[in-house]
Amino acid sequence: MRLKRIRLAGFKSFPDPVNIEVPTKSLAVVGPNGCGKSNIIDAVRWVLGEISARQLRSGAMA
pLDDT digits (tens, 9 = 90+) for 17-46: 999 999 888 889 999 999 999 999 999 998
Q: Residue 58 has what pLDDT? A: 57
| Nearest in space to 24 (alpha carbons), one of 48, 4, 41 | 4
Sign of CA dihedral 54, 56, 57, 61: negative
pTM of the model: 0.74
Tally of CB atoms within 10 A around 30? 6
Task: With cut-offs at 50, 70 and 90, classify the pLDDT of residue 7.
Answer: very high
In the chain, where are the structural domains located? Answer: 5-55
Q: Residue 61 has what pLDDT? A: 54
Task: With cut-offs at 50, 70 and 90, classify the pLDDT of residue 60.
Answer: low
Q: Residue 62 has what pLDDT? A: 52
